[in-house]
Amino acid sequence: MSDTKKVDEKYISEENMDDLWNVWYSELHDGSSGLTLKIDTIHESTKSQFQRIEVIENRDFGKMLVLYGSLMVADNDNNAYNEMITHLPLFVHPNPGEVLIIGGGDCGALTEVTKHPDIKRVTLCEIDEKVVEISKKHFPDLTRGLADPRANLVVSDGKKYLEDSRSKFDLVLLDLSDPIGPAADLFQKSFHQTVSDRLNDDGIMVAQSESPFYNQETVKAIYSNLKQIFPIVRMYTCFMPIYPSAFWSFAFCSKKADPLKDFRRDKYDELNLALQYYNDDVHFGSFMQPQFVRNLIDNC
Ligand code: SPD
């Protein structure tokens, strides 16, 4: 007599098919640790002339932009980075009129800059047009600033753009991906010197400077180079859960203004911006570093 076994109905019932979705994003930070997120939806998976581009969605972080397998920005985790790279120097520079952003194709930093009414022009120089195009489609809040009449989008290699340009800027923001791939040259000393040459006498440059936990050799090299170019170089940090170690750094580099002495409280109070991360306490607190970070940058 044959013995017929019933196959588990859980796996053949159509209404349960969604529960079987089990697709994960894993980003390794140093080859043995990293961040893993369950993907609810894959919105884009494509390749530009420069890199792979993905837009994926996770329950906690919302839509996320991934370039070459590295998380760049998320609907629910972008305020810290975008507000800190922009508002902090904008509330230090005495009169920021001309702002240049190199990289930043998701346009989050550009949109923050446009919240300052005194800015005359904000130029975004992004090498990969497809990043801007995909960001416009999936991140309408981040890209809102592109519609501002003061926004000027240039699709070009940032290095070439600055080398060919005779323009001078008050503030240059290096809103770069990582020191690999299309942005690698923009982390080098020769490029930082080019930026310094294009800054006005009271100019400020802010560069994203990676994780002080995972990228220690990179951090040391960046700060050692910057200190040879700018009279004032200070690290500040923020909390960014989607980036390696959730602890991210920026190099504040200035020809004159000191972020700890020249905070424009009057302008900060006047604008009274509705922000999520940056405020007057965070302005000062973000320059206070734990000892292991001081050890990296103090004597380099
Ligand atoms: N490993 C990810 C580092 C990303 C830093 N910059 C992101 C730029 C987004 N505008």
Confidence of residue 18 (pLDDT cuts 50, 70, 90): confident
Confidence of residue 4 (pLDDT cuts 50, 70, 90): confident
Counting beta carbons within 10 angstroms of the beta carbon of residue 199, is it exposed (0 to 12), middle (13 to 18) or buried (19 or more)? Answer: buried
Mean pLDDT of the chain: 95
Reported pTM: 0.95
d(CA 156, CA 273): 31
Domain spans of the chain, in order of start: 3-72, 80-298
Mutate to test the pocket of ligand 1, among 61, 77, 125, 176 (most ligand atoms within 8 A of CB): 176
What pLDDT was estimated at residue 3?
A: 81
Residue 43: count other Cβ atoms within 10 Å of its Cβ. Answer: 15
Best CATH choice for the domain 80-298 from the list 3.40.50.150, 3.40.50.1980, 3.40.50.970, 3.40.50.300: 3.40.50.150
Question: Beta partners for 45?
Answer: 54
Please state, for a pLDDT cut of 70, what percent of the chain lies above it. Answer: 96
Choose among 187, 182, 184: nearest CA to 249.
187
**Shortest CA distance to 296 belongs to which of 240, 239, 222?**
222
Q: Do domains 3-72 and 80-298 have the same CATH topology?
A: no
Helix, coil or strand: residue 66 = strand
The per-residue pLDDT for range 141-157, each reduced to its tens digit, is: 999 999 999 999 999 99
Name the active-site residue from 77, 128, 170, 175. Answer: 175
Please report which residue ranges of the chain form alpha helices under DSSP H.
Answer: 79-90, 108-113, 129-138, 158-164, 189-197, 216-227, 265-271, 280-285, 291-297
Give phi and psi for 297, each to the nearest 5. Answer: -110, -20
Angle at 28 (CA atoms; ends 22, 32), nearest 5 degrees: 110
pLDDT-derived band at 177, boundaries 50, 70, 90? very high
Q: How far apart are CA 106 and CA 230, in angstroms?
A: 28
Query: CA-CA distance, 99 to 77, in Å (whole number)?
Result: 24
Centre of ligand 1 to C-alpha 267, Å, is 28
Tokens of 259: 């972020």
Quickly count: other Cβ atoms within 10 Å of residue 56's Cβ. Answer: 22
User: What single letter denotes the amino acid at residue 230?
Assistant: F
Q: How far apart are the first and last CA of the chain?
A: 82
Protein residues whose CB sits closer than 6 Å to any atom of ligand 1: 70, 72-73, 104, 106, 108, 175-178, 208, 243-244
Q: Which atom of ligand 1 is nearest to the CA of 178?
A: 3
**Residue 67 Cα to ligand 1 middle (Å):** 9
Would you call 3 a catalytic residue per the annotation? Answer: no
Structure tokens at 42: 């894959």
Structure tokens at 77: 């985790």
The predicted structure's pLDDT at residue 21 = 86
pLDDT in tens, 154-166: 999 999 999 998 9
**Residue 37 belongs to what H/E stretch?**
strand 34-38
DSSP class of residue 185 equals G
| CATH number for domain 3-72, candidates 2.30.140.10, 3.10.450.40, 1.10.357.10, 3.30.565.10 | 2.30.140.10
Q: Write the residue with the smallest CA distance to atom 5 of ligand 1.
A: 177
Q: Which two tokens stand for residue 263?
A: 């905070």
| Distance, CA of 101 to CA of 124 (rounded, Å) | 5
